[in-house]
Amino acid sequence: MQSYALEYHKEELLHVLQEDEEEDHYSITINALTLLESSPWMGDILLTSPRNTLPLFDSALVAAQRTLLKVAETTDLTIKRNIHARVTRLPVCPELTRDVLPKTSDVGNFLSVTGTVIRATTIKLLDCEKEFVCNQCRHAFTVEADFEQYYSVCRPSKCPNEDCNNVSNFTVLAEQGSVPSHCRNYQELKMQEQVQRLGVGTIPRSMWVVLEDDLVDSCKPGDDVTISGVVLRRWKPVTVDSRCHIELVLKANQVQVTNEQRSNSLLTKDMVRESVETSLVPSLVFPSSVTYILYNKYHRKLSAFLYCVK
Ligand SMILES: [Zn+2]
């Protein structure tokens, strides 16, 4: 991966090296088609085992920066550790590029889904690991937050020190109210399938998408997006006598806003004028369901207009 990055993304990596902010997050956009063509096995492990492969790609981008730094002639370059490989342009095939939301059988796979953002949560700071100390042997260790359990940090079930048999007596190291040391930006989106891409009579479904680091705030409700990422499961803590809550979630690797394509492909100014002219009078007596069909068929701006007329 390092040699691939040096061959295809040298200029971008040099730009990242020249940036001043060492702690910021930076992205290198990897074209999946180019990757698959130049190194099929690397593309293959990305698609079949993305959870392990994506962090390796990020590490390779850091290593590539180090290589460039060694041969650089200027001295004002710094290595950026928070650099991410963002994979875009997946091959167009039913396994990898979807208009409908992934299913349980897709868990663990890397794919791209096209939909519309209908909700976005506020951006939060996520504390992604906690330090504990064993009260028996004073061994200090970190526990990472578990994505599959809504990023909760579980209390350790056993001391990692092999000579110690403590299973319950641990203290959290960080003081209450202190600034957590390992934080990242975090936001969730609700993405809905686009009606015009579904079969007639199909009700669009929606799912949560998790954005982290520099991906947060990259789109807003109403945007059409193509998001590539890993399909994962997550669940709330289980309690006796209550139903277990498990859901599928897409952990985004790359977000592309595609509003431009929508207006170009679905709607021209003439179409808007024509539709408005022909439906103005009936809209005064339209039930809301008719407006809803129009909304799906043409454009949300048009339906908003009709709503105002009503
Ligand atoms: Zn211990």
Q: What is the pLDDT of residue 303?
A: 44
Q: Are 58 and 84 spatial neighbours (Cβ–Cβ below 8 Å)?
A: yes
**Mean pLDDT of the chain, nearest integer:** 81
Ligand 1 centre distance from Cα of residue 171 (Å): 11
- Confidence bin at 147 (pLDDT 50/70/90): confident
Calculate the alpha carbon distances from 201 to 103, 198, 296 in Å. Answer: 20, 8, 12
Spacing, Cα 236 to ligand 1 middle (Å): 29
HEC secondary structure over 60-74: HHHHHHHHHHHHCCC
On the question of pLDDT at 291 being above 50, the answer is: no
CA distance 177 to 225: 38
pLDDT for res 290: 38
- pLDDT higher at 260 or 211: 211
pTM: 0.76
> What integer pLDDT is reported at residue 288 of this predicted model?
40
Q: Ligand 1 centre from 130 Cα, in Å?
A: 16
pLDDT in tens, 229-243: 999 999 987 888 888
Neighbours of 298 (CB within 10 A): 19
CA–centroid distance, residue 138 to ligand 1 (Å): 6
Spacing, Cα 178 to ligand 1 middle (Å): 25
Q: Cα(135) to centroid of ligand 1, in Å?
A: 7
Residue 184 Cα to ligand 1 midpoint, Å, equals 29
pLDDT of residue 50: 94
pLDDT of residue 127: 81
Which pLDDT tens digit goes with each residue over 292-309? Answer: 333 444 444 444 444 444
Q: What is the pLDDT of residues 180-202, one digit of tens each?
A: 667 889 999 999 999 888 888 88
- Measured in Å, residue 163 CA sits from the centre of ligand 1 at 8
What per-residue confidence (pLDDT) applies to 76?
84
Residue 258 confidence (pLDDT) above 70: yes
Q: 149 C-alpha to center of ligand 1: Å?
A: 25
> For the residues 54-59, what does the mean pLDDT come to?
93
Check residue 300 and give its pLDDT: 45
Query: pLDDT value at position 243?
Result: 86
Kindly give the distance from the C-alpha atom of residue 168 to the centroid of ligand 1, in angstroms, as a whole number: 10
Kindly indicate the confidence band of residue 73, based on its pLDDT and cuts at 50, 70 and 90.
confident
Query: Tell me, what's the pLDDT at 295?
Result: 40
φ/ψ of 32, rounded to 5, equals -60, -35
CA–centroid distance, 188 to ligand 1, in Å, is 37
- Ligand 1 centroid distance, CA of 185 (Å): 33
Confidence of residue 206 (pLDDT cuts 50, 70, 90): very high
37 has pLDDT over 60: yes
Predicted local distance difference test score (pLDDT) of residue 275: 46
Amino acid 177: pLDDT: 56
Residue 176: its pLDDT value, please? 55
How many A from CA of 192 to the centre of ligand 1?
48
Q: Is residue 109 classed exposed, middle or buried when 0-12, 13-18 and 19+ CB atoms within 10 A define those classes?
A: middle
- Measured in Å, residue 136 CA sits from the centre of ligand 1 at 5
In this predicted structure, what is the pLDDT of residue 9? 92
Q: How far is the CA of 128 from the centre of ligand 1 (A)?
A: 23
pLDDT score, position 262: 58
C-alpha 174 – ligand 1 centre gap (Å): 18
